[in-house]
Amino acid sequence: MSATAPAATTAIPAWLDLVRRKVEALRFGQVYIVVHDHQVTQIECLEKTRLAARTAPRGEPEPDSARA
């Protein structure tokens, strides 16, 4: 009979769970993790909304993509 050691259970840090939830909630975007002195101090989330492409009718110029 072989003795097996119980699996080591490591707790997931709160910041890692928060990052996971932020990523799961995004369709398009970025999640930034800010670190100071070896510690996660800030999590930033930038969400983008993609709009369907619009084609201009004949004779009209294409919409300027630089304008927001």
Radius of gyration of the chain (CA): 23
Instruction: Give residue 5's Cα distance to chain centre.
Output: 37
Burial of 4 (C-beta count, 10 Å sphere; 0-12/13-18/19+)? exposed
**What is the average per-residue pLDDT within 10-38?**
94
Return d(Cα 54, Cα 48) in angstroms, integer.
Answer: 18
Higher confidence at residue 66 or residue 29? 29
pLDDT digits (tens, 9 = 90+) for 35-58: 999 999 999 999 999 898 877 677
The alpha-helical segments, DSSP class H, found in 1-68 are 14-25
| Band of pLDDT at residue 4, cut at 50, 70 and 90 | low
What pTM, to 2 d.p., does this model score? 0.57
